[in-house]
Structure 1
């Protein structure tokens, strides 16, 4: 990336990489099982690291995501979701015990064929960082058979081995390794021009970055194209061309999509009242947001946050 075009992105990225991870669960499951995860609130991300076998992650309004051994899934907005076996049927009972500060979860009367770690981390300064909103619904790293991702795989194995050993301080060591892993994931995602993240692409250009940052700082404002052009210090036509070049859409379409995307993330990742979310992202009423959510995702807003904590 040319240095002159990345100033705004780099400024926003640095505080984003200050994270505090917490490893909550070490899971060894077999048979038919399901584990539900409630939203964690603003600033909290959730993650799953699969070390053996495979599983499915499902979220209301979005398609299922299959994870296999060596895969690392990051949900930057802490969405409510379910992790389950690929097989359907009556769920096997899950037992839990705390060991070395980590909850050990196992299926009862079913040999484990899938193992993974679950946790979350807090983005420090999340309220001030526009890239939090710009991050996608999920970031997945698939390390199996990828020589270029050997560093991720080594960290994943080290985290698992540290927790399995159960030595004094293992939880702290594993958390530090996890911090390094996720900083690398976020850094690589934000630096990847081919990631398909339109908002991040816009932040690489000085003029469009001014507009994106202004919108993210005042999403409820009734923005006009003239106001956006004034922020960008450009003409309307120049701004439209720049948005189409970097994101493939016009500025007003970007604004509409961003409002709906952030509303979905707030609904799935927090327990904030729907009316408050509607006002914060620029919808005239809760009803207007509900209609937009239904058109885009085929669900009512409340259905995006139905998951409850696992047993």
Structure 2
């Protein structure tokens, strides 16, 4: 499994669609701060609109754009024609999703609003390093024809109530999120984080090695050698790129892997400790409690 797929798998995100909006003219639709563990997203199927955050940031959304709020920030969907007539909103049920409209004419924007639920105890290693407003144009990642096909299928499945439609739509939302992460990683990134780290062709070699063998007693010298750098250069560039030290990354990754094993298997704590690179169960328990606030046994009990 490649690095990005593994990080997404550890995040255990559960996508859900909330409503489809076909809006025109002047409109403002507010979204309150989401509950912890809920990550709202918007995908523009056609047209354009603005997303205005509670902090006053405005993001122009065009066809093929994907936007996620990793920390659930309050925001509003705003029309791009503020001087146009404000029409009353109505919600009807169209197939699998409610449909919000405010007129009978051609909409200025067609978008799907949904959210990801972040399962309790799952890894936040990837999500914590995303910006408060994660905005990507999927057209820049996929050809317009490919994206049009995917969006067309998503729109079609959301409109009808065929068997398996919900499974198809939720799987496609996770696929589109993955495409957004990949597109972001392929572009120049201003903020440090895991996506910037994965986009660095030299540093990513060492990350691949760590994820392939998390139990290995990695040293800074070994990792720097894999990246063909000196220890000092490797440590400095890693922190500048990832926004964390090499040691913090190793610990966070191992705790994420351990959490997944505790939640999804019946393996003993000692076995899991060895799997993620700890010589003793006691050392693992101490590191896990420092990271998660509870012992491995208590963590597993809380999940049950």
TM-score bracket for this pair, using the shorter chain length: 0.5 to 0.7
Of 112, 118, 140, which aligns to 1:123? Answer: 118
3-state SS of paired residue (2:107): coil
- The match for 1:77 is 71
- The match for 1:214 is none
User: Where do residues 272-291 of structure 1 align in structure 2 (5 Å cutoff)?
Assistant: none
Q: Which deviations, in whole Å up to 9, do the C-alpha atoms of 1:86-128 show, x marking residues without a partner?
A: 1214632100123434111110466523211111111335654
- The match for 1:21 is 15
- The match for 2:136 is 141
3-state SS of paired residue (1:173): helix
Of 155, 161, 171, which aligns to 2:156? Answer: 161
Q: Which deviations, in whole Å up to 9, do the C-alpha atoms of 1:180-201 show, x marking residues without a partner?
A: 2223333554x54733341224
Q: Which deviations, in whole Å up to 9, do the C-alpha atoms of 1:36-75 show, x marking residues without a partner?
A: 1122222221111112211000102252111112222222
Q: Which runs of 4+ in 1 moved over 6 A?
A: 238-241, 248-252
Contact 2:40/2:115 (<8 A) preserved: yes
CA distance in 1 between counterparts of 2:243 and 2:178 reads: 32
- The match for 1:66 is 60
The alignment covers a number of residue pairs equal to 222
Contact 2:20/2:97 (<8 A) preserved: yes
- The match for 2:127 is 132
CA distance in 2 between counterparts of 1:174 and 1:128 reads: 24
Contact 1:243/1:249 (<8 A) preserved: no
Mark the CA change 1:61 to 1:103 in structure 2 (over 3 Å): closer, same or farther.
same
Of 218, 221, 242, which aligns to 2:235? Answer: 242
CA distance in 2 between counterparts of 1:160 and 1:193 reads: 28
CA distance in 2 between counterparts of 1:124 and 1:243 reads: 33
Contact 1:26/1:118 (<8 A) preserved: yes
CA distance in 2 between counterparts of 1:149 and 1:111 reads: 22
3-state SS of paired residue (1:242): helix
Contact 2:35/2:72 (<8 A) preserved: yes
Give the greater-gyration-radius structure (CA).
Answer: 2
For the aligned residues, what is the CA RMSD?
A: 3.9
- The match for 2:37 is 43
TM-score (norm 2): 0.59
Question: Which structure would you say has the larger RCO, counting Cα contacts within 8 Å and 6 or more residues apart?
Answer: 1
2:172 is the alignment partner of 1:177: yes
Which stretch shifts more, 91-100 or 107-116? 107-116
Mark the CA change 1:196 to 1:10 in structure 2 (over 3 Å): closer, same or farther.
farther
TM-score (norm 1): 0.57
Which stretch shifts more, 83-92 or 111-120? 83-92
